[in-house]
Amino acid sequence: MKEFFEFLSFADANVRYVTLGSMLLAGSSAVVGCFTLLRKRALVGDAVAHAVLPGVCLAFILSGTKNPFILLIGAFITGWISLVAIDFITSRSRIKEDTAIGLVLSVFFGIGILLLTAIQHSGNAAQSGLDKFLFGKAASLVGEDLIAFSIVAVLLLAATLIFYKELKLLCFDETYAKTIGFPVRGLELLLTTLTVLAVVVGIQAVGVVLMAAMLITPAAAARFWTDRLGVMLVLAALMGAFSGVAGAYVSYTAPAMPTGPWIVLIISMIAILSFALAPGKGWIARIIRRQRNKKLILEENLLKLLYQLGEAKQDFSTNRPLQELLQKRAIPAKEAKYGLGKLKAQGYLEKTKNGWALTHEGITRGRRVVRLHRLWELYLTQYLHLASDHVHEDAETIEHIITPELEQRLLEELNYPALDPHSAQIP
């Protein structure tokens, strides 16, 4: 606890630089990463991260110093050129985007490694520590770095706020944006520039190898918690900032632990928890929803079966033994017993010594399932011109998800029909 409070006090200047720098890097990168993710260009961040290395090396060769502003300018230029190259290759050839990304990534990274090796063998004493751009070294951030990162982070956030509506429209409906006269090409260049800036400011903390994770992982995690872009941006920024602080804390308490990889590891853990626990889209929620739907289908199939058995004599209250139900429909006995028990608890069935019978509520619900099944069969035969013996399986699935609004629309479209394609009465 003592180390924890010492860390939070920020009395040590190095702790302040590393923590604030990591927060700015991770938070601003996450915001831009949201737009990159929604544009389905997640691999672009990886390409840019590898493409900035030759820019860093060239900036150092030309300037002879490790001034962070000069190095960032060099990184930005080659990173931007890499994205332009990807777009050019994709638009002017038959090469797909993923292949173009792989080509640009490998070529630029190879040039960067070549230049870095040449610098290391040049005898220039100032080149010490330049390789941190390859693997990252957030613990070495100083005041000049923090100033540079602060300026870039402010630019990223300001551009996002100013062009929020335009970027949102570009991500979700590019065609409509063109139709109403938006400068789509200009917006794409703006988003390209923001992506390059985000990558450029992040490589010094996590390096070119892990920068793609810093850009995309917070956005992917936030996407699982919301369907609104504004909320997604805030969540991604908070997740990124938290991972930056947590990575700096781990590095503070265990100096042998590098900050950058821990930032990526922590945001990855947050992403895994989001993938599993998010209430709407998470793995657990999907499993629960699948089980709930399975139970719903079982219950409605049983109600439909009991209703159909009573249709011949219009006697829906007759007791039906379990064996008769199992003979009419291939349902495992254990599942059938479970479903019948659930329907009884819900008030749709009554159980007697002679079997199971529909209650008034059960007749109403069973009638609706049968009606939906036959309406959909009729719709498929009349509007899609399918053969009547090819529509049953599809109706077996659709009958469970038709809403009352869609049911009313089907009735109107079919002119309130009396018979289905098999000449059975539609209740």
Q: Is residue 420 part of a domain?
A: no
361-385: average pLDDT: 91
Same domain for 92 and 206, yes or no, is yes
Same domain for 113 and 231, yes or no, is yes
210-214: average pLDDT: 79
Among 138-147, 214-223, 285-294, which stretch is predicted with the lowest mean pLDDT?
138-147
Output the pLDDT for position 153: 83
pLDDT in tens, 267-320: 999 999 999 999 888 999 999 999 999 999 999 999 999 998 888 788 888 888
Same domain for 36 and 179, yes or no, is yes
Among 110-124, 269-283, 383-397, which stretch is predicted with the lowest mean pLDDT?
110-124
Residue 93: both structure tokens together: 């050839």
Q: Higher pLDDT residue, 246 or 125?
A: 246
Q: Long-range contacts of range 98-105, CB-CB < 8 Å, 24 or more positions apart?
A: 98/43, 101/43, 101/44, 101/46, 101/47, 104/47, 104/51, 105/46, 105/47, 105/50, 105/51
Same domain for 223 and 290, yes or no, is no
Pairing mode, if any, of strands 355-358 and 349-352? Answer: antiparallel
Residue 236: pLDDT band by 50, 70, 90 thresholds? very high
Burial track 128-158 (b if 16+ CB lie within 10 A, e otherwise) = eebebbbebbbbebeeebbebbeebbeebbe
Q: Is residue 247 part of a domain?
A: yes
In the predicted structure, residue 364 carries a pLDDT above the cut 80: yes
Q: Which amino acid is at 239?
A: M
Same domain for 310 and 388, yes or no, is yes
Same domain for 206 and 297, yes or no, is no
Residue 262 CA, chain-centre distance (Å), reads: 22
7-24: average pLDDT: 73
Q: Which of 280, 299, 317 is the C-terminal boundary of a domain?
A: 280
CATH of the domain at 380: 1.10.10.10
Q: Which of 258, 280, 302 is the C-terminal boundary of a domain?
A: 280
Same domain for 224 and 373, yes or no, is no
Name the domain count of the chain.
2
In the predicted structure, residue 134 carries a pLDDT above the cut 70: no
Top mean-pLDDT range of 85-89, 122-126, 155-159, 269-273: 269-273
Q: Is residue 421 part of a domain?
A: no
Q: Is residue 422 part of a domain?
A: no
Q: Which of 245, 280, 315 is the C-terminal boundary of a domain?
A: 280
Output the pLDDT for position 194: 87
Give the C-alpha separation, 369 to 64, whole Å: 78
Same domain for 256 and 363, yes or no, is no
Same domain for 272 and 310, yes or no, is no
| Of 85, 80, 116, residue with least CA distance to 207 | 116
Q: Is residue 198 part of a domain?
A: yes
pLDDT in tens, 19-29: 887 788 888 88
Helices (H) and strands (E) in the chain, counts: 18, 2
CATH of the domain at 157: 1.10.3470.10
Q: Name the residue range of residue 368's domain.
A: 286-413
Same domain for 191 and 314, yes or no, is no
Same domain for 174 and 240, yes or no, is yes
Same domain for 8 and 115, yes or no, is yes
